[in-house]
A and B are shown apart, each in its own frame.
Chain A
Amino acid sequence: QVQLVESGGGLVKPGGSLRLSCAASGFTFSDYYMTWIRQAPGRGLEWVSYISSGGDTIYYADSVKGRFTISRDNAKNSLYLQMNSLRAEDTAVYYCARDPVVTAIDYWGQGTLVTVSS
């Protein structure tokens, strides 16, 4: 069965950095686009970034462009999100998700909480 397990969240000061990881299993990771989505406390869903199966196509939401970097290691079945220059408004649960493109985002991890506060 498809499993996505995020890790790396925690408390960080404004201006700090954090690297999130997502371990994938139960499917051929290298066949799929992957996406990061976040949800601030009590708020709606916000798409953050996606990366193509081979890693050659990457897009970011304007709110994180220039600060966040998405990457993947197909040999390790892992997805990453490097987050720099963090702001209070980046506080959210960050979800890793499988993105088959044609059939929409179909599997989500359980999420990891990132809190940016002094």
Chain B
Amino acid sequence: DIQMTQSPSTLSASVGDRVTITCRASQSIGNWLAWYQQKPGKAPELLVYKASSLQSGVPSRFSGSGSGTEFTLTISSLQPGDFATYYCQQYNSHRTFGQGTKVEIK
């Protein structure tokens, strides 16, 4: 089974900061990687698919990059509504989620 490892687990940042979250796969997954945002008590929302394609309606301050085993999600200028937990997910072989990265207010 493919394992997904996110880092960091928690990230403290301020409004306006540039934020980067990393996701590593235990084996190559091509570009079959998605990123989700989840706020407390809510279902996750898709941000990025195929590693770098922005889902319709998602602000352009979010971007994804990478291929193979290493991927990043970048928020270019953190906004108040971006404080949430972010998950990567591979869909090359079945589906596996990373453990999550909580972005909290510094």
Contact = CB atoms under 8 A, between A and B. Distances in A.
A108 B99 CA distance: 19
A35 B97 CA distance: 13
A11 interface: no
Contacts of B43: 95, 108-111
Contacts of A111: 43
Given A104-B34, A104-B91, A45 B46 contact: no
B97 A47 contact: yes
B: interface residue count bin: 20 to 34
A56 interface: no
Given A50-B94, A62-B1, A105-B34, A44 B46 contact: no
B96 interface: yes
A118 interface: no
B71 interface: no
A: interface residue count bin: 20 to 34
A28 interface: no
Interface string A76-115: 0000000000000000000100010111111011110000
B87 A47 contact: no
Interface string A35-64: 101000000111100100000000101100
Nearest to B87: A45
